[in-house]
């Protein structure tokens, strides 16, 4: 009878489990998402009708939210407990707060990757992926950033969080921070390029009529469009915005990565502290309240008279 009523619960951990099915969904949706971004370069330029080149950005902008909804439904449904959910919510809020108040659509993110990368690293790829989603969405909601670009931002940020969670686990110490910094720089540039790639056909028209020299040229060979896009992204953002983002992210990770990571990892085991009062940690044999001893000390020899007064 006694044996029946013993309940064993695993020590609390924060994270989102990704099963094989979730992985399939993530990989397929990412592939489609990447196509939705990079179609101007991927599609063999020969076959593209001018009519569809104008339509395509709109069609993809309409399709991606649906894909993201699908992924969101599949991931969270697998097992998002109240604890991970609350931490996800609070970290999304922090990310949204770190983002400049006037984050203008495509290029407003300066420091959002910092906590995203650390969150993914501390709590695993599933958590990182969802954190990318929710951070972008929350910040868009709070800073008037809801627009056709939002699904693409959410997807790219989710990739960053996922990548941070997938980095080799064994690495620790300085190497770990260096690895995260490298990811930060890579993510900053890649993210900027992705968003430019999405924005490119919009901002620089696809109309055959009066073509600027940086515009997407439907029907032109891949190399030509690659060059055009290369200059577009280099001139508009890589030089300024993206580099700024890369530098701030890497700097923040190098300086704050270690202490923040410690705090996050501690949170994973902290679930047992339901309230503010902590139980005795196993490392200290003392009960948490050594107050009795002070009372018993009774002033004898305990008076700190040598205070350099």
Q: Which of residues 171-200 bind another protein (CB under 8 A)?
A: none
- Residues 114 and 112: their CA atoms lie apart, in Å, by 6
According to CB under 8 A, which residues from 85 to 104 bind another protein? 85-94, 96-97, 102, 104
Question: Cβ of residue 186: shortest distance to another protein, in angstroms?
Answer: 23
Question: Cβ of residue 278: shortest distance to another protein, in angstroms?
Answer: 4
Question: Cβ of residue 102: shortest distance to another protein, in angstroms?
Answer: 8
Dihedral angle sign, alpha carbons of residues 201, 205, 209, 213: negative
Q: Which part of the chain contacts another protein (CB under 8 A), choosing from 166-174, 176-184, 240-248, 253-261? A: 253-261
Question: Cβ of residue 243: shortest distance to another protein, in angstroms?
Answer: 20
Contacts of 59 (CB under 8 A, 6+ apart): none
Is 62:16 a contact under the CB 8 Å cutoff? no
- 300: contact with another protein by CB under 8 A: no
Interface with another protein (CB under 8 A), residue from 168, 172, 210, 300: 210
- Residues 102 and 96: their CA atoms lie apart, in Å, by 11
- Choice between 55 and 239, CB closer to another protein: 55
According to CB under 8 A, which residues from 36 to 55 bind another protein? 36, 39, 43-44, 47-49, 52, 55
| Of residues 86, 62, 54, the one with CA closest to residue 215 | 54
- Residues 184 and 188: their CA atoms lie apart, in Å, by 6
According to CB under 8 A, which residues from 263 to 292 bind another protein? 263-264, 266-267, 270-284, 286-292
| Of residues 23, 43, 60, 240, the one with CA closest to residue 152 | 60
- Choice between 168 and 173, CB closer to another protein: 173
Site string for another protein, 52-81 (x = CB under 8 A): x--xx-xxx--x--xx-xx-xxx-xx--xx
Contacts of 204 (CB under 8 A, 6+ apart): 212, 214, 215, 216, 232
Question: Cβ of residue 169: shortest distance to another protein, in angstroms?
Answer: 21
Instruction: State the helix-helix crossing angle for 112-123 and 173-203, rounded to 10 degrees.
Output: 130
- Choice between 169 and 293, CB closer to another protein: 293
Question: Cβ of residue 19: shortest distance to another protein, in angstroms?
Answer: 9
Question: Cβ of residue 190: shortest distance to another protein, in angstroms?
Answer: 22
Is 153:196 a contact under the CB 8 Å cutoff? no
- Residues 267 and 261: their CA atoms lie apart, in Å, by 10
According to CB under 8 A, which residues from 114 to 143 bind another protein? 130, 133-134, 137-138, 141-143
The structure tokens listed for 178 are 């260096």
Interface with another protein (CB under 8 A), residue from 25, 117, 179, 187: 25
| Of residues 202, 196, 279, 203, the one with CA closest to residue 233 | 196
CB atoms < 10 A from the CB of 39, how many?
18
Question: Cβ of residue 306: shortest distance to another protein, in angstroms?
Answer: 10
The structure tokens listed for 302 are 């305990």
Count the site residues for another protein by CB under 8 A. Answer: 128
- Choice between 77 and 170, CB closer to another protein: 77
Q: Name the one residue in this structure whose structure tokens are 């707060």.
A: 97
């Amino acid at each position: 009878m006694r044996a029946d009523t013993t309940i064993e619960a695993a020590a609390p951990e924060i994270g989102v489990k990704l099963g094989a099915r979730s992985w399939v969904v993530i990989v397929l949706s990412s592939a489609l998402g990447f196509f939705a971004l990079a179609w101007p370069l991927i599609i063999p330029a020969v076959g593209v009708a001018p009519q569809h080149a104008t339509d395509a950005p709109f069609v993809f902008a309409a399709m991606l939210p649906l894909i993201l909804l699908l992924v969101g439904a599949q991931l969270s449904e697998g097992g998002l407990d109240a604890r991970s959910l609350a931490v996800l919510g609070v970290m999304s809020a922090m990310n949204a707060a770190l983002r400049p108040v006037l984050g203008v659509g495509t290029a407003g993110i300066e420091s959002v990757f910092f906590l995203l990368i650390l969150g993914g690293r501390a709590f695993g790829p599933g958590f990182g992926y969802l954190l990318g989603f929710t951070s972008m969405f929350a910040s868009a909601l709070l800073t008037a950033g809801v627009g056709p670009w939002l699904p693409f931002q959410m997807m790219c940020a989710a990739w960053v969080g996922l990548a941070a969670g997938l980095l080799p686990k064994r690495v620790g110490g300085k190497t770990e921070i260096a690895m995260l910094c490298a990811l930060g720089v890579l993510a900053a540039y890649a993210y900027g390029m992705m968003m430019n790639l999405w924005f490119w056909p919009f901002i620089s028209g696809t109309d055959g009529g009066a073509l600027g020299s940086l515009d997407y040229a439907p029907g032109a060979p891949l190399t030509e469009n690659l060059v055009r896009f290369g200059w577009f992204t280099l001139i508009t953002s890589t030089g300024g915005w993206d580099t700024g983002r890369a530098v701030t992210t890497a700097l923040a990770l190098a300086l704050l990565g270690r202490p923040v990571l410690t705090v996050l990892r501690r949170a994973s085991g902290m679930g047992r502290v339901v309230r503010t009062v902590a139980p005795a940690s196993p490392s200290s044999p003392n009960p948490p309240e050594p107050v009795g001893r002070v009372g018993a000390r009774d002033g004898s020899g305990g008076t700190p008279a040598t205070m350099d007064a």
